Amino acid sequence: MRLRSTDLGVTFPSPGGPVHALRGVRFETRENEFLCIVGPSGCGKTTLLRVVAGIQSPHEGAVEHIPSPSDRNRDILLVSQERNLFPWMTVIDNAAFGLEMQGVPRGRRRKLAHEILARMGFEGREMAWPHELSLGMKQRVAVARCFLSDPAVMLMDEPFAALDCLRRLELQQELLRLWEESPKTVIFVTHDVEEAILLSDRVLVLSRQPGRVVSEFRVPFPRPRTAGITMTDEFLDLKRTVSGALGLSFRKEAACR
């Protein structure tokens, strides 16, 4: 499924007057594109994802869904930074939750969940409770759950931000692997420019409040992409350019909070 938006605007009331989280944000995705949105922390990125997911209604504009023949469904699923797993379900039940909501019978959904979790290294820990897991493992399960539900669009809100560097690299590679096996449109939000370039086909830079798309960069590197390419000259050049655009958006607008 492709997405196309008209100028989106979201305003929140606040004691100091209305806060424009987003204003005039327009974007469009291509078929099965991995799109990254970078921007300074705190302003608008999460709100944008929530609007696309249908959780938050925009005060201006709308997001159009353009279905493709290859879509299994019209789901738009969101993976966030934290509070991702239900504490009262085991790992496997959490992973199978999407399938459960789709009406897949218990035996089958547990089997599918077991398969994907085994591939992600969860053999034997499926009956663990979320509170027994580290953050990295919880995020793994959240990503697994999302892929398992096979949505038309996947939204990810800085899912690896709270992880340490090594975990982050691991999960990035796992994400790319899963995505390549099961291509779909992904919108991945991050404040890490390197992560954005490594993962995506295209990077959008969002400004500080009020959030607007200030620049767009195509990422020309071929896939599959290993972590090693982050050291190449071309990569660093692009990183410099995007960081520059980000840096500009740091200085231009007024502080967020």
Partner 1 sequence: MPVTSAWMTRLRDAVFSWWLPVAIIGTWQASASLNLISPLFFPAPSLILQSGWQMILNGEWQSQVGATLHRMLIGAALGLSTGFACGLLMGMLSPVRKTLEPVVSVLNSTPKLAVMPLLLLFLGVGETARLVPIALTAFVTLAMQTLDAVRGVDPGFVEMARNYGAGRSALLRRVYFPACLPQVFTGLRLTAGRALVITISVELLGSPDGLGRMIWMAWQTFATEKLYIGIFSTAMLGVLFHDGLARLEARLVPWGVKPRGR
How far CA 13 is from CA of 16, 20, 50, 56, in Å, comes to 8, 9, 17, 14
Instruction: Single out the segment in contact with partner 1 by CB under 8 A; choices: 33-41, 87-95, 163-171, 179-187.
Output: 87-95
Q: How far apart are CA 48 and CA 25, in angstroms?
A: 9
Count of CB atoms within 10 A of residue 40's CB? 21
Minimum Å gap between C-beta 139 and partner 1 is 14
Q: How far apart are CA 84 and CA 139, in angstroms?
A: 7
Q: What DSSP element (H or E) covers 19?
A: strand 19-25
Type of residue at 163 = L
CA-CA-CA-CA torsion sign (170, 245, 242, 11): positive
105 binds partner 1 (CB under 8 A): no
Minimum Å gap between C-beta 98 and partner 1 is 5
Q: Which is nearer to partner 1, 40 or 98 (CB)?
A: 98
Q: Which is nearer to partner 1, 16 or 87 (CB)?
A: 87
Minimum Å gap between C-beta 102 and partner 1 is 7
88 binds partner 1 (CB under 8 A): yes
Q: How far apart are CA 113 and CA 128, in angstroms?
A: 14
Q: Which is nearer to partner 1, 147 or 235 (CB)?
A: 147
Among all chains, which residue has been given the structure tokens 């019209």? 74
130 binds partner 1 (CB under 8 A): yes
Q: Which is nearer to partner 1, 127 or 231 (CB)?
A: 127
> Which has the closest alpha carbon to 33: 139, 198, 188?
188
Q: Which is nearer to partner 1, 12 or 86 (CB)?
A: 86
129 binds partner 1 (CB under 8 A): yes
Residues that bind partner 1 (CB under 8 A): 53-55, 75-78, 80, 83-84, 86-89, 97-98, 100-102, 129-131, 149
